[in-house]
Amino acid sequence: MNNNEDGKTKKRLPKRAEIPDQYKWRLEDLFATDELWEEEFRRVKTLLPQAEQYKGHLSESADRLLAALQLADEINRAVHKVYVYARMRKDEDNTCAKYQALSDRAQTLATQARSALAFLNPEILAIPEEILKSYLAENAALEVYRQAIDDLLRQKPHVLSQVEEELLAETAELAQAPANIFAMINNADIKFPTIIDENGEEIEVTKGRYIQLIESKDRRVRHDAFKALYSSYEKQKNTLAATLHASVKRDCFYARVRKYPSALAAALDEDNIPTEVYTNLIQAVRAHLPLMHRYLALRKKALGLDELHMYDIYTPLAPPAEAKIPYETAKEKVLAGLRPLGDDYMAVLEKGLASAWVDVYENEGKTSGAYSWGTYGSHPYVLLNYQENLDNVFTLAHEMGHALHSYYSNQKQPFIYAGYSIFLAEVASTVNENLLLHHLLQHTGERSQRLYLLNHHLESFRTTVFRQTMFAEFEKIIHEAVENGLPLTADFLCRTYLQLNRDYYGEEVVSDPEIAMEWARIPHFYNAFYVYKYATGFSAATALSMQILNDGAGAVRRYIDFLSAGSSDYPLVLLGKAGVDMSSPEPVNAALRLFSELLTQLEELLHIS
C-alpha cells in the first residue's frame, strides 16, 4: 500500500480490512460469531461451581475420581477454546479495544478455572498410592488418566497443600503481567523510524520488515534498519529491563515456593528433563564455537568486507534465483518439498493450505512473527507475516509442521494428552524445513542457488543452534543473578548480553554497541527456559529428517506415530521411540558435525578456505 507524502512514496502497512479474505484465517470455524463466544463464556462460568461438589470427596470412590477428572477436562477444553479465540482475534490487530477486552476476560476466566480446579492435584496426591492403583484397576474408564496420575505422583514433592495451590492459582493473572506489558509495548506501542530503502523510497521499519531490510544487498540500508530498530528499544530500555526483571522474579518465586533448587530445574521438571540436558547443550555448543567463528570469517571474506558488523550477518551470500516468491508459489514449493512424508501427511497438508488455516500477510497492529495454535476439536491455525522471499517459504513449512503435529495429536489422543510438550514442539517444524531444503538442493544445479541454499541452512544452524543456545545461556545467567539477590538493571542486562554476543560471534564480528539491546525485543524470554528447546529440537529434527530420507517408509511410520503421540509419554521417551536419544549430547554433536560438512561445501563453492 502506498501513499504520496511531500513528493515521496511512503510504504505503509495495510489495515486489517484491506487484506483480502482469501489470505485470512477463518476463526469463524471456532465461533461463528462473537455472540456464540459469549454464550460459551457464560457456560464455562456455570461449570466452575460444579467442581466444588468434588472437593474433599475424591478419595471416596473410583467413580468420584473419574467424574471430577472428566469435569476438569470439560472445563479446561472449553476455557482453552474461549481463550484461543479471543487471543487470536486480538493478534489480528492488537490496537482493537474490543478484542483487547475479550482477551483480558478470557485470561481472567482461565485464572478462575485454575483456581476452581486447584484442589484436584493436592487431593489426588493425598490418596494413598495403593488406593489410587486399585481405583485404576477397578474402573476401566480411569485408565486414560494413568500417565497423568503417574506424572503427578512423580512431581509430588513440589505440589503444595490445597489452600496453597488455590492461592497460587489466584496469582496466575498477576504473573502474566510482565509478558502482557511487554507484548503491548512490543506489538502496539513501540514505533520505529522510517528509512530510505534500496530504491530511494521512504519505508517505515517494522518488525515484520526488519529481516527483509537487514538482508538487503545495500549495506547502507542494513545499517540504517539496524540503527532504527535498536534506537527504538534503547529509548525504553529501563522500562523493558524492569519488565524482564519482574518476569524472572516470577519464575524464581514459583520455583522457590514449589521447593525446586532453581528456576531452571522447575522449568525442566514439567517435561521430566534433567538439567544436564540444558547444561550439556551449552557445553556442546560452546565447544563448537570455532566452527561458528570459521563460518563468520567465511562470510566476511565472501562479502568482501574489512569489518563484519552485526547488520552484515543476515544478508545472503548469493541472491536467490527468484527475487520475489508470491505466497501461492510458496505453497507449491512446500508441498513439493514435503512429499517424502507420505500420502496421508500430504493430504492433510493440502487441505490445511486450502481451507483458511493460515493468516498470511502483515497488517497494522498484527502480532509480529509467526506461530501455530488452535484448540482440541478444531483444525489448527497458523499466523504469518509473509514477505515474498525464500526465508518466508521456510517459515510456512516450519509453521505447517507445528500445525500437522497438532492435527495428528488431536486426532489420535484424548484431550488430556493432545497437547504435546514444548520440548518436542520444534521437532516437527524443523523436520519440514530440512526436507524442504533437501528438495530444493536436489532440484538445482545452479551455483548461485546452491550457494544461497547452503548459506540458508548454515544460517538455520547459526540462528537455531548457536544463537538460541546463546539466548539459553543468557536466561540461565539472569535467573541465577536474581536467585543470588542481584537486580536486573538495564546496564547489567546490556553488559551481560554484549559479552555473550562477543563470545558466540568471536573476533571476526564487530559486536556493535546496539546489539547489547537485543535482549529487549525477544518475546521468548517471558516464557522461561523455552529457547533451548529450539536447539535441542533442531538437533533431534536433523536426525529424524535424515532417517526419513534414508530409511523411507519405516522411518515415516515411526515419525507419524511420534506426531500422533501428543504428551502420552515423556518427551525423551517419545523421541527415543522415534529413533533419537536426546538424553545424550550425541544428537547435538552430530548436528554440529553436519554443520561442519555443509560449511566445507560452502567454502569449496566459494573457493575460500
How many beta carbons lie within 10 A of that of residue 153, not counting itself?
13
| Residue pLDDT, tens place only, 485-505 | 999 999 999 999 999 999 999
Whether residue 581 contacts residue 587, with contact meaning beta carbons closer than 8 Å, is answered with yes
Query: Closest Cα partner for 471 from 496, 488, 492?
Result: 496
How does residue 234 score in pLDDT terms, banded at 50, 70 and 90? very high
With residue 382 as reference, give the H or E element that holds it.
strand 381-383
- Give pLDDT, residue 496: 98
Query: CA 204, CA 206: separation in Å to the nearest integer?
Result: 6
Q: Which set of grid coordinates corresponds to residue 481?
A: 543473578
| Residue pLDDT, tens place only, 269-328 | 989 999 999 999 999 999 999 999 999 999 999 999 999 999 999 988 877 666 799 999
Angle, alpha carbons 313-317-319 (nearest 5°): 125
Whether residue 540 contacts residue 281, with contact meaning beta carbons closer than 8 Å, is answered with no
Query: CA 583, CA 571: separation in Å to the nearest integer?
Result: 10
- Give pLDDT, residue 434: 94
- Give pLDDT, residue 4: 40
Give me the mean pLDDT over the 379-402 stretch: 95
CATH for the stretch 192-235: 1.10.287.830
- Give pLDDT, residue 321: 62
pLDDT at 9 over 90: no
- Give pLDDT, residue 8: 39
Report the share of the chain in percent with pLDDT over 70.
98
How does residue 407 score in pLDDT terms, banded at 50, 70 and 90? very high
- Give pLDDT, residue 279: 95
How does residue 447 score in pLDDT terms, banded at 50, 70 and 90? confident
Q: Three-state SS for 93?
A: coil
Alpha helices in 120-218 (DSSP H): 120-126, 129-138, 146-154, 162-170, 172-175, 177-184, 207-214
> Out of 1.20.120.1780, 1.20.140.70, 3.40.50.2300, 3.40.50.300, which CATH number does the structure's domain 17-175 have?
1.20.140.70
Query: CA 308, CA 314: separation in Å to the nearest integer?
Result: 11
Identity of the amino acid at 298: L
Query: CA 355, CA 22: separation in Å to the nearest integer?
Result: 9
Query: Closest Cα partner for 341 from 38, 549, 70?
Result: 549
Query: CA 184, CA 104: separation in Å to the nearest integer?
Result: 13
pLDDT at 10 over 50: no
- Give pLDDT, residue 315: 87
Outline which parts of the chain fall under CATH 1.10.287.830. Answer: 192-235
| Residue pLDDT, tens place only, 255-268 | 999 999 999 999 99
- Give pLDDT, residue 208: 81
Pairing of strands 371-373, 308-309: unpaired
How many beta carbons lie within 10 A of that of residue 439, not counting itself?
19
Q: Three-state SS for 509?
A: strand
Give me the mean pLDDT over the 332-349 stretch: 98
Whether residue 248 contacts residue 492, with contact meaning beta carbons closer than 8 Å, is answered with no
- Give pLDDT, residue 322: 66
Identity of the amino acid at 1: M
- Give pLDDT, residue 319: 72
How does residue 446 score in pLDDT terms, banded at 50, 70 and 90? confident
How does residue 515 score in pLDDT terms, banded at 50, 70 and 90? very high
Alpha helices in 62-161 (DSSP H): 62-92, 97-116, 120-126, 129-138, 146-154
Query: Closest Cα partner for 403 from 391, 395, 392?
Result: 395
- Give pLDDT, residue 2: 41
Q: Is 399 a catalytic residue?
A: yes
pLDDT at 423 over 60: yes
Instruction: Phi first, then psi: give them for residue 364, nearest 5 degrees.
Output: -55, 130
Pairing of strands 8-11, 2-5: antiparallel
Residues in Cβ contact with 573 at an 8 Å cutoff, skipping those fewer than 6 apart: none
Query: CA 190, CA 526: separation in Å to the nearest integer?
Result: 18
Q: What is the chain's mean pLDDT, rounded?
A: 93
Per-residue DSSP letters for 289-358? HHHHHHHHHHHHHHHT-SSEEGGGSSS-SS--S-S---HHHHHHHHHHHTGGG-HHHHHHHHHHHHTT-E
DSSP annotation of 145 reads G
How far is the first Cα of the chain from the last one, in angstroms, to the nearest whole number?
45
Looking at the chain, how many residues does it have?
609
Q: 188-192, long-range: CB within 8 Å, 24+ apart, which pairs?
A: 188/94, 188/95, 188/365, 190/232, 190/233, 190/236, 191/232, 192/228, 192/229, 192/232
| Residue pLDDT, tens place only, 531-548 | 999 999 999 999 999 999
Please name the residue that has the C-alpha cell 559486536: 511
Per residue in 488-498, is it b (16+ CB within 10 Å) or e — as a string? bebebbbebbb
Q: Three-state SS for 8?
A: strand
How does residue 461 score in pLDDT terms, banded at 50, 70 and 90? very high
Span of 79-83, 106-110, 292-296, 421-425 with lowest mean pLDDT = 421-425
Which residue among 92, 166, 362, 399 is the active-site one? 399
Query: CA 583, CA 573: separation in Å to the nearest integer?
Result: 9
Outline which parts of the chain fall under CATH 1.20.140.70. Answer: 17-175
